[in-house]
Structure 1
């Protein structure tokens, strides 16, 4: 089973490796053109800073009279388009990843501003929870306390697919009927679902760490650093949004 993150799946990484293997044996391959862990970390930091900068602009504009719905919705759509393109053309990641971070920042900034207006202080809590979760998962992975086995991957991927299917079906029913999904509101069932989704999102981080590490070991092309960083950013954004949802439900209690 692969990482559920579409950017960190085995097919894409295998394709990247095969392209490199196609180089004639007489060709000298520059090791500086290979994927490295330090390079991936640096790319991740760049994307994070771009996302924060973009989100900060929308945050400031919202509290100065801008309606955040439009930039948030537009950012989400464009970000999704860039994700799809990169999934099929990972070699363009050095150009698409920064664009994704900027547009996703519009989405994050708009959504965060909306939640902050309704629940003052919730954004700080969600950001803190996201970073703590990331740090804990990274520590557990680094020191091999949690090992990414094939069974582990299977369970996480299956659970993530189930969540995606449930969200999609619930959204369609709520759009065309008077059906109210059980994860809406602040019932114990709704809170429990949010906790479960956060756990699965956090477990996806382990899969992402594993694929990045494997990519470095397999000496994939340099552009895969941007690709891996972009995939990791997708998981972190998902985790942050789910923390916002959970905290908003708890604030209603």
Structure 2
């Protein structure tokens, strides 16, 4: 586990498997990764606005939400195993996730007015806070730090997988989805884990640029960063909905 990003889509072994070096015009750069990250985020927001507007204009957006979630998951798996496909599939992933998040956010906004803006602002603040912590050296992606975040991330993934399987049989995992104090505490812990993944993502991007990784890895790294951002946003909006239910 040492030397990997906590984000399952980003790990340093991926750079090693791609393994060769290009000239300066063909290698990954931090600036190029940042630009592509903004491009993917713009695509996601654009698609989210479309499904949001459709929801509030009376259109049935449930198929967009489910289709976006399933399609995004499938593409995420493909990109994770085939990084060279990232330049072509990462933009499609961003659009599908946008449809999903737009419909999901509209549903939450309909139930709890103002929750979407709160979730978006908190997500951005946490992202910027993690970036500042990384740049100043307050949080460093040491081997022990990576092991801890990776282990916690895998644990969360397994819990969600178990919850999904049990729900198919009409069984709910205690506290995971309710608004009790324990349920809220679980959400807070998961949000912290998601936020810490940013540190590993930043480290992955920085080391990829330093190692002269292939240019297409900019798309791959940008995709991985977007995965973490989407995860964090979903967890925050879920936490806010739990808090709203207690009022």
CA contact (8 A) 1:174 1:181 kept: no
Q: Structure 1: which 5+ residue stretches go unaligned?
A: 22-28
Q: For residue 26 of structure 1, what is the aligned residue in structure 2?
A: none
Residue 87 of structure 1, CA deviation: 1.3
Residue 130 of structure 1, CA deviation: 0.1
**Number of residue pairs aligned between Structure 1 and Structure 2:** 244
Normalising by structure 2, we get a TM-score of 0.96
Residue 45 of structure 1, aligned match among 38, 51, 67: 38
CA contact (8 A) 1:68 1:111 kept: no
Q: For residue 209 of structure 1, what is the aligned residue in structure 2?
A: 202
Moved more, 139-148 or 170-179: 170-179
Q: Structure 2: which 5+ residue stretches go unaligned?
A: none
How far apart, CA to CA, are the structure 2 residues paired with 1:167 and 1:12?
25
How far apart, CA to CA, are the structure 1 residues paired with 2:60 and 2:218?
35
Q: For residue 108 of structure 1, what is the aligned residue in structure 2?
A: 101
SS in 2 for 1:34: coil
Residue 89 of structure 1, CA deviation: 1.3
Normalising by structure 1, we get a TM-score of 0.94
Q: For residue 12 of structure 2, what is the aligned residue in structure 1?
A: 10
Residue 116 of structure 1, CA deviation: 0.5
Provide runs of 4+ in structure 1 moved above 6 Å: none
CA root-mean-square deviation? 1.1
Q: 1:94 to 1:178 in 2, by over 3 A?
A: closer
Residue 72 of structure 2, aligned match among 49, 58, 79: 79
How far apart, CA to CA, are the structure 1 residues paired with 2:25 and 2:9?
22
How far apart, CA to CA, are the structure 2 residues paired with 1:7 and 1:42?
19
Q: For residue 152 of structure 1, what is the aligned residue in structure 2?
A: 145
| 2:67 matches 1:67 | no
SS in 2 for 1:210: helix
CA contact (8 A) 1:68 1:114 kept: no
* Larger Cα-atom Rg: 1
